[in-house]
Structure 1
Amino acid sequence: MIYPYLTLNDGTEYTHSEMKPDGTVIVYVETPDEQDGFHSLECILPKYEIKDVIGYTKAEQEKILERIKKNAHLMIKYSQTGGFESDAATA
């Protein structure tokens, strides 16, 4: 499953996977771009490993990683309870 987490004013969306059997959670980030269609990347938690980067500059990647680090504890929690919007996550 992929769960929505955060949408920014510029259209950037943060989503995350359910927790995998090995304890990892994949965070997906996607930003609409008029020229390229979308910029995207994946971040593997808890190691904060960035991969599959398309279109983001190094500076943009660093800013995204900062936001992920500030929210990782919540995304890890919600990955185990059905996402942010589920009743289990808000109980």
Structure 2
Amino acid sequence: MVYEYMNFPDGTEVVHTQILNEGTNPTVEVNFERPTPHGFDSARCELPSYHWIERTGYSDEEIAEFLEFLKNNAHLIFRFAKTGGICA
């Protein structure tokens, strides 16, 4: 399951998965996606390792900003991933 987390002013949408691997090492994947004239820019990061699984179209500076965002929001994202999203 994927849950919406927030939208940035530039159109980037942030969504996250439910808790993955709940019995062993719980993880959550967070996806950043922004529409472009020819498709989408996309970046996906796995928490809690902060490992970037995918990255297309975003600059190094934008990825650094996303990393800072994730470090400040990881605890909330994990909480919402456990409870069925921000609106649950």
Percent of aligned pairs with the same residue? 39
1:89 maps to which residue?
Answer: none
Aligned partner of 2:50 in structure 1 is: 48
Instruction: Select 1:74's aligned residue among 73, 76, 82.
Output: 76
Distance (whole Å) between structure 2 residues aligned to residue 27 and residue 13 of structure 1? 10
3-state SS of paired residue (2:83): coil
Q: Does 1:31 align with 2:34?
A: yes
Cα distance, 1:77 vs. partner?
A: 0.6
| Count of aligned pairs between the two proteins | 85
Give the letter for the 2:5 counterpart: Y
What one-letter code is carried by the residue in structure 2 that aligns with 1:24? T
TM-score norm. by structure 1 comes to 0.88
Confirm whether residue 60 of structure 1 aligns to residue 62 of structure 2: yes
> For residues 18 and 40 of structure 1, what CA distance do their matches in structure 2 show?
19
**Deviation of 1:58 (Å):** 0.9
TM-score by length of 2: 0.91
* Residue ranges of structure 1 left out of the alignment (5+ in a row): 87-91
What do the CA deviations read for 1:7-55 (whole angstroms, capped 9, x no partner)?
A: 1111111000000123000001101122x32100111000111121011
Q: 2:15 matched to which residue of 1?
A: 15
Distance 1:73 1:40 in 2: 22
Deviation, 1:64, is 1.1
4+ residue segments displaced more than 4 Å: none
Deviation of the 1:60 alpha carbon: 1.0
Unaligned ranges ≥5, structure 2: none
